[in-house]
Each structure stands twice: as C-alpha cells, then as structure tokens.
Structure 1
Amino acid sequence: MSQDCLFCGIVAGDVPGAKVAETETTYAFMDIQPGSDGHLLVVPKRHSTDLRDIPSADLAEVAIESQRIAKHVFDAWGADGVNLLNCCGEDAWQTVFHFHMHLIPRYRDKTKDRLRLPFEPGVRGDAELIEDLASSMRSALQEG
C-alpha cells in the first residue's frame, strides 16, 4: 500500500467509499464522479501505478472480478450495456495513480447515462444514489 494513495486508503478503510465487492486480491467500490448510474471501480489491493506496472496476476484478478460484476449490472440495475475502461497516464485521463478498471453501466435512458466521449470527470454524483446502487449490487452479488 502507498501511504499517499487515495485508493489504497479506500481499500484500507481509512477513506470512505461505497464498497461493492472484495476478494483476497481485489476491491470494488462506487465511483464518486460517475459517468452513469452504477459506475464503479475495480482495483487490485496491492498498489500499482498503472497498466504498465501492474503484475499480470493482479491484472488478471481485476479483469476476472470486473467480468463477474459486469454480468450482474444488466439484471441488478437494468443496464443495456457496459463499458470497461482503464486510463493509463495523465494524458489518457488517469487522475488517481493506482491501477483501476472503470466498470460503467450504459443505459438507453440518458437520465441515467451521462457518459459522452470524450469523458470528462468532475461532476460529483448524488451520494445517496451511489450508496443505494452499491447496496443493490452487494445484494445481487450475494444472490448470484
């Protein structure tokens, strides 16, 4: 863990976050600047700066957990699609330098889907909605 890394702080429980799922090597939580309702992040627990330095085993675990969660967004939230996105480097929109995979549910209903390319983070989401979505995903993952 890196002492000055926001995501390491979330994984450690030192920084608040709406947890969705946790495995031995990964941690998933809701994005507080969501591109769509249900936008979440999957990170390795072990700190890696970006795609260039993440150990392949950690990358595989993040990908596998991203896929597992993605299978549930259709039924749990009524999503019509899903994007997986990794931003590697500042010029690729990476703003937190701890490897992370964005899992972004997509909706035909554009009141739930604000993502347009190019995606520009910065709009803080509704905290209650974020927690509600985290809770519903936790339930869906336990049932499925």
Structure 2
Amino acid sequence: MRDENCIFCKIASGEIPSTTLYEDGDFRVIFDLAPASPGHLLILPKEHFADLLELDEAVAAKLLPLSARVARAMKEALSCPGFHLVQNNGEAAGQTVRHFHMHIIPRYGKEELLLWKPGECTEEERAELCRRIGEKLQ
C-alpha cells in the first residue's frame, strides 16, 4: 500500500528523484539530503508503514540483513570505523516523516556522537516498569 501524500512513498516509487544507492522490489536506499555525516543513507520500504509498530513482519525480516549489507559496503568504501543505525518512532523520538525508514550514518571518529545521557533508575523503579510493560507484552 502507498500513501499518495507521503513524500517518502513518492521517493521510494521513483516519482521524486533521489540519489539512489540500491533498489529492489521492497526497498530503495538513498542518500539523505541533510546528512549527519558524508555518506548518510536512508533505507525506505516501498510500501507505506507509518512507523515500526505498523511495519509488516515480512518486510521487517528483510530489513536488518539489507542494513548490514549496505553498512558493510559503506564502511569499506568510505573507510569509516563505525556507523549508527537509527530508527525513530513518533515525533517525540525525532521522527519527522511518518514513513518507516532506517538511517545508516557513517562515523569517522571526529564528530559528535548520537548518544543519550545516562540516567539513574532504582531497582524498585525497574521492577515497577517491568511489571507495567510486562502486563502489555502478551
């Protein structure tokens, strides 16, 4: 299924041009127009899924092997010692386009990393969170 109002659906289908690295029947891998570092890529499913919670299991099963294949080629070609594999869900998490996509961001060892600040959580708090989430995990 495709969303006619979704810019990533239009890019994934080829309606809007992009610098495409790879394409198959399920995905298009493109260069990000506003890269976090040189070589920043996006993996776009050709089918529309708003986020991870809507992602089809068959498509999801193909995503990680493709991500690894692309990242391996990227590391070798760009001589980057590392990379981030990033996927945001919802506006609060930084998702700006409501079409599931995965970022592969090469890291050269000199730029600021995409990290979170470690916080604190007591054993009691973890137990309560575990109980609450576990009740929904059925």
TM-score, normalised with respect to structure 1: 0.74
Look up the match of 2:73: 72
Structure 1 pair 114/14, CA: closer, same or farther in 2 (3 Å)? farther
Higher relative contact order (CA 8 A, sep 6+): 1
Structure 1 residue 92: deviation in Å?
0.4
The structure that has the greater radius of gyration is 2
Give me the whole-angstrom Cα distance separating, in 2, the residues matched to 1:102 and 1:8: 16
Instruction: State the number of aligned residues.
Output: 115
Q: CA RMSD for the aligned pairs?
A: 1.5
Which portions of structure 1, spanning 4 or more consecutive aligned residues, are displaced by more than 3 angstroms? 113-118
Look up the match of 2:27: 26
Give me the whole-angstrom Cα distance separating, in 2, the residues matched to 1:69 and 1:13: 20
Alignment of 1:78-97 (within 5 A): 78-97=79-98
Alignment of 1:127-142 (within 5 A): none
TM-score, normalised with respect to structure 2: 0.77
Post-superposition Cα deviations, 1:69-111, rounded to whole Å, max 9, x if no partner, equal 0111121011110110100000000001110000111102x3x
Structure 1 unaligned segments of length 5 or more: list them: 119-144
Alignment of 1:56-71 (within 5 A): 56-71=57-72
Preserved contact between residue 19 and residue 31 of structure 2 (Cα < 8 Å): yes
Give me the whole-angstrom Cα distance separating, in 1, the residues matched to 2:92 and 2:39: 25
Which AA in structure 1 matches 2:4?
Q
